[in-house]
Amino acid sequence: MKFVDLIKPTAVKVVSATSSKKRLLHDVSDLAESAYGLSAPRILEALMEREALGPTGVGHGVALPHARINGVEEVTGVFILLERPIDFDSVDRQPVDIVFGLFAPEEAGVEHLKALALVSRSLRNPGLCAKLRANPVPTTLYTILTAAEAEKAA
């Protein structure tokens, strides 16, 4: 599995300001709807249910909200870079500015876990996160995300 299989250029966005974690999850849901035609209310509900189990802020300014959702055909993702970090109840209590939302079919066991592992492993790389933070243009962010794997493979 590769980033290019998870995300398309229209699923990358820079958000100048968001007021809260809940508002950010709305933004993630709306982006999933516009990029993939998924139901924003259904996505939001699933993300809120998942967050109730435990926060998906993984530390170092990164959050990986994710959910299995009835009606989703394949594992897909959205990426949001926040110009101003917000509190996300992260494990390290640091505010979040890099958000990768991941959505999978309800029955997608291994594929969902592989995608989550790929995104988590990639966004733990401080160099990659620094590049993302330094380039607040959606097309550039998409290129950075998809090129990171190509560099590792070379």
* Mean pLDDT (whole number) for 2-31: 94
The half-sphere exposure of 135 on its side-chain side, counting CA atoms within 13 A, is: 15
Q: Which phi and psi angles does 64 have, rounded to 5°?
A: -125, 65
Catalytic-residue membership of 26: no
> Residue 151 above 70 pLDDT?
no
| pTM (two decimals) | 0.93
Size of the chain, expressed as the number of residues it contains = 154
CB 90 within 8 A of CB 59: yes
Q: What is the mean pLDDT of the chain?
A: 91
Per-residue confidence band for 80, with pLDDT thresholds at 50, 70 and 90: very high
Measured CA distances, 55 to 105, 112, 120, 131 (Å): 21, 18, 14, 25
Based on the number of CB atoms within 10 Å of its own CB, is 149 exposed (0-12), middle (13-18) or buried (19 or more)? Answer: middle
For the cut 60, the answer to whether the pLDDT of residue 63 exceeds it is: yes
- Residue 71 is classified by DSSP as T
Catalytic residue among 26, 60, 66, 112: 66
Copy the structure tokens of residue 145. Answer: 């995300």
Place of tokens 């299995």: 68
| Domains contained in the chain, CATH given | 3-153 (3.40.930.10)
Rounded percentage of the chain residues whose pLDDT exceeds 70? 95
> pLDDT tens digit string along 129-138?
999 999 999 9
pLDDT 10s digits, 108-126: 778 888 999 999 999 999 9
Say what angle helices 110-123 and 126-134 make with each other, to 10 degrees: 80
8 A C-beta contact, residue 62 and residue 95: no
The pair of structure tokens assigned to 14 is 């820079």
